[in-house]
Structure 1
């Protein structure tokens, strides 16, 4: 999570700057094994949401893939899409 103006990580009250499987003990998976990430500036009301704090201003997301699978290298893996909900 980076702010669009200065290209810096977004400082936040919980010191979370990314969602990573390297810290899977912090993540709350859905019953079907999927992972929901709430990207928003205000703390979510849903305690089971994996919150990635975002600034109120414009921002951009960056995905780092370490040791990518062959499907990623062959451009056959469909990256998860961000969906805006109200």
Structure 2
């Protein structure tokens, strides 16, 4: 089950319809999420997430690590900030 969740979350995403419908509230964003299989231990999975304004995709401004773990019979996502996110821009 967890692998299916990781596969669902991995990829490139955007909010273009939302940004067009309500431009006063939403900036058009791009989000990339990539699995990091070498970090997984004891059944957990990790993804690297990076976000950028769609007008400036070469200038991402938010990098995070997502840790997916099972809590009972449900998947749980823990979001981790990086100490020096600038080191990971474009990763």
TM-score, normalised with respect to structure 2: 0.26
Answer 1 or 2: higher relative contact order, Cα 8 Å, separation at least 6.
Answer: 1
TM-score, normalised with respect to structure 1: 0.27
